Amino acid sequence: VCTKCTNTFPAGSRITEFDGKQYHPECFACVDCRKAITSQFYPFNNDYLCGTCHEQRFPRKRCAKCNSVITSAVITFAGASYHAACFLCMYPQLILQKKRNKIINQENFYILTEKY
């Protein structure tokens, strides 16, 4: 029985399996665009999003200097996001000191100080 539509699978039909559940290929679909999921996908509210719809809902931050997606620690300064290296190129008078933020328990917290 298909987890999504609860219909049975005809003999010899294709079955998509994920996380111990079985689906008709057309039922294992993106909750936003309704296209069958055939590659990268993300769990979302007991459903799934395809890679394209996930990016539209949750856009990744882009560096204000180089415009590349930021996949590591983000430096936010004056309302813009930067890679650490790009930020230091633009603001060489500042020093980034990596500190552990005990409040949010993350390693990617930075303190800015001026060079003297």
Consecutive 10-residue averages of pLDDT for the chain (116 residues):
94 91 92 91 90 86 87 79 79 57 44 46
Q: How many domains does the chain have?
A: 2
pLDDT of residue 82: 84
pTM: 0.53
Q: Is residue 105 part of a domain?
A: yes
- Nearest to 41, CA basis, from 32, 49, 53: 49
The boundaries of the domain holding residue 108 are 75-114
pLDDT at position 95, please? 55
pLDDT of residue 92: 64
CA distances 98 to 72, 74, 84, 101, 112, Å, are: 13, 12, 10, 9, 9
Task: Tell whether 48 and 80 lie within a shared domain.
Answer: no
- Answer whether residue 4 is part of any domain: no
Task: Tell me, yes or no, whether 37 lies in a domain.
Answer: yes
Instruction: Give residue 14's pLDDT.
Output: 92
